[in-house]
């Protein structure tokens, strides 16, 4: 790579409540030369961000329009009701929609649940954000129904939450523009789905080595074995190609030192 070249990067969007730490760590282990950039985005704006090219893929809340976006559902969140710690429901383990009938339930404009009709009594005015709604719950104005991850995200010492039954649940999915399913997108899909490095849909596996090379490795780097002591090779012993004491090529005895005349 020359100094003017920029390494490829992968931009991953995520909506509030999603924690992509585990998948980012695996990405960094498998592709250390390809940086991953996180892009936080409000749930209502996630689909538009992907369509406009602001991210290569993203963790979104369903539903999304799948006309041009692909989506892989990952998990469903528990829906909870956020209450003050001095609320009467503090001592119960779980609440139902009927338990909220006489309660003021805040319904922020960025609500992520697909309500047909929100439970409880509506507030005089809808809060602009979930953050504002949490502040109102702490002030004793009303209660708030959200996915559990958002209750954890906006945790306060004076508030707690309880699981709520009989209400919609939020589903998290990995989404990306269908026409931009790049190799890096496929790589991240494999990570999210738990594929190993050698998976056929993940990074290409190491090709098997030829038998000849494997044999060379097992015989000590390919060096030929020396003949055992006392044995002769096909060409003779000692590697000379002739047996000891053999006659010279002309058929006579092997000549020694000349004798001195008396």
Average pLDDT over residues 219-238: 48
Higher pLDDT, 101 or 205: 101
Burial class (CB in 10 A: 0-12, 13-18, 19+), 244: exposed
| CA triple 4-5-10, angle to 5 deg | 140
171 and 75 in contact (C-beta within 8 Å)? yes
Q: What is the pLDDT of residues 161-216, one digit of tens each?
A: 999 999 999 999 999 999 999 999 999 999 999 988 776 454 444 445 555 555 45
CA pair distance 65, 13, nearest whole angstrom:
17
Residue 261 pLDDT class (50, 70, 90 cuts): low
- 49 phi and psi angles, rounded to 5 deg: -60, -45
Inform me whether the pLDDT recorded for 251 exceeds 70: no
Q: What is the per-residue pLDDT for 111?
A: 96
60 and 15 in contact (C-beta within 8 Å)? yes
- H or E element that contains 122: strand 121-122
Q: What percent of the chain has pLDDT over 70?
A: 73
Q: Where are the beta strands (DSSP E) in 124-245?
A: 143-147, 159-165, 171-177
Burial class (CB in 10 A: 0-12, 13-18, 19+), 123: middle
Q: What is the per-residue pLDDT for 8?
A: 83
Q: Hey, is 155 helix, strand or coil? A: coil
Q: What is the pLDDT of residues 118-146, one digit of tens each?
A: 999 999 999 999 999 999 999 999 999 99
Q: Where are the alpha helices (DSSP H) in 80-207?
A: 130-138, 148-153, 183-192
Average pLDDT over residues 63-89: 95
* Whole-prediction pTM: 0.72
Residue 30 in tokens: 């498998």
């Amino acid at each position: 790579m020359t100094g003017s070249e920029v390494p490829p990067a992968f931009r991953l969007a995520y909506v509030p409540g999603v924690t992509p730490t585990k998948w980012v760590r695996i990405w960094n282990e498998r592709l250390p030369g390809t940086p991953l950039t996180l892009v936080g985005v409000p749930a209502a704006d996630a689909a538009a961000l992907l369509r406009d090219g602001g991210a290569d893929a993203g963790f979104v809340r369903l539903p999304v329009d799948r006309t041009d976006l692909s989506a892989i559902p990952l998990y469903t969140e528990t829906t909870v009701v956020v209450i003050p710690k001095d609320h009467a429901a503090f001592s119960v383990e779980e609440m139902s929609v009927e338990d909220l009938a006489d309660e003021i339930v805040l319904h922020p404009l960025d609500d992520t649940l697909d309500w047909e009709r929100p439970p409880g009594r509506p507030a005089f005015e809808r809060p602009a954000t979930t953050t504002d709604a949490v502040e109102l719950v702490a002030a004793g104005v009303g209660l708030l129904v959200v996915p559990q991850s958002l209750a954890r995200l906006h945790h306060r010492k004076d508030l707690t939450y309880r699981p709520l039954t009989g209400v919609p649940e939020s589903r998290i999915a990995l989404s990306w523009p269908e026409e931009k399913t790049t190799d890096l997108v496929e790589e991240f899909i494999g990570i999210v789905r738990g594929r190993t490095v050698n998976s056929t849909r993940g990074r290409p596996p190491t090709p098997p080595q030829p038998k000849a090379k494997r044999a060379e490795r097992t015989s000590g780097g390919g060096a030929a074995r020396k003949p055992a002591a006392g044995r002769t090779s096909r060409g003779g012993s000692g590697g000379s190609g002739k047996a000891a004491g053999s006659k010279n090529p002309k058929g006579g005895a092997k000549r020694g030192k000349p004798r001195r005349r008396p």
